[in-house]
Copies of this chain bind each other. A is one copy, B any other.
Amino acid sequence: MRHAAPAHHIRRDRSTIEDVAAAAGVSVATVSRALRGLPNVAESTRKRVRTAAEALEYRADPAASRLATGRSRSIAVVVQLLNGWYSSHVVAGVEAVCADKGYDTVVVGVGPGSRDRHVFGGGSTIHRRVDGLIFVDVIVSDDELAALAEQSMVVVSVGHELPSVPSVGIDDVEVGRLAAQHLLDLGHRRIGLINGPATVPFRVPHQRQLGFEGAMRDAGHEPDPSLYVAGDFTIQDGADALRTLLAHDDPPTAIFSFADEMAFGVILAARELGISIPDDLSLIGVDDHDVAGVVGLTTVHQDVDDHGARAARLVIDELEGTPSSVTTGAGPVRIVVRRTTGPPAQ
């Protein structure tokens, strides 16, 4: 007999597994097995259970199964800036496949610094809440990673590569090379770089820089580091960067911005400064941001939604022991030429 619920528990009369068991005339164990598609259940029984469950609109309480199995069927996306273009696209990709596979997607934002980093650090509670973690361009220390591994959390990274963690993203060296080559082909020699932040060990911009420099050298031109300026992927940083570069004794004829958003800043500032793009200055970005088309920005395209989707699939496959067919590593990139690049002025 079920006991009466305590008064303050105005808990609804949702049907439980016991109700279904009673209705189907079997034990709860059988209901559990039948509904989850486990073997060793007579087909006739399974059908009967399913019917009863349906009639009662039964759904297993996730909290209860979580407690019993240790699986929460949800995965977290850890992101620096939730409303950034890149992150939100990754999240969208993740959510789509999670929903499809019956997982919940929980988002957690970590400050740009290490604020809030305890979320997944040592004594954190995140591993009790989710089965897997997807880091989006967040830099995680080896210690944190080790702690996570010890808790047998499945982790995947998107963008920034993490040691000993499968990652999806793009070949950033290739990105740098592609952009540089495009500019070189147009005849540019002095090329400014709007880089990532100088202070953190963020691989993505570094790789792009490497690719850029490789292409330059291959073409017989020595890159000029005095033309590199750091940025933090914001529009404002892009605008500032342009001003900095223009103050150079021998300013560049083209700028390679490591993100479209910073390139937007360049466009904005250029307009204010009366500089014509691409007549006075060529500009190329990375991302193919939704509005890149609007402003006619030449850029290196990447499919960010897909990064998120692949990451999620990776995590889920790992979680469920499915041999994953997902390709880890670099996805395709391609250059999209629009109106912000052209030959240098005489």
CB–CB B99/A62 < 8 A: no
Residues of B within 8 A of A83 (CB): 85, 88-89, 91-92, 305
The number of residues on chain A lying at the interface, defined by a beta carbon within 8 Å of a beta carbon of chain B, is 59
Interface assignment of A247: CB less than 8 Å from any CB of chain B:
no
Residue of B nearest to A64 (CB): B67
Residue of B nearest to A70 (CB): B11
Residues of B within 8 A of A273 (CB): none
Residues of B within 8 A of A261 (CB): 290-291
Interface assignment of A9: CB less than 8 Å from any CB of chain B:
yes
Bound-state Cα–Cα, A61 to B91, Å: 26
Number of identical monomers bound together in the oligomeric complex:
2
Q: Which of B70, B74, B123, B296 contacts A57 (CB 8 A)?
A: B123
CB–CB A82/B72 < 8 A: no
CB–CB B67/A67 < 8 A: yes
Q: List 27 A-B contacts (CB under 8 A).
A: A12-B150, A14-B128, A57-B123, A59-B128, A61-B128, A63-B63, A63-B66, A63-B67, A63-B72, A63-B128, A74-B106, A83-B91, A84-B88, A87-B88, A91-B91, A95-B107, A104-B106, A104-B108, A105-B107, A235-B291, A235-B293, A261-B291, A268-B293, A268-B294, A271-B296, A291-B295, A294-B295
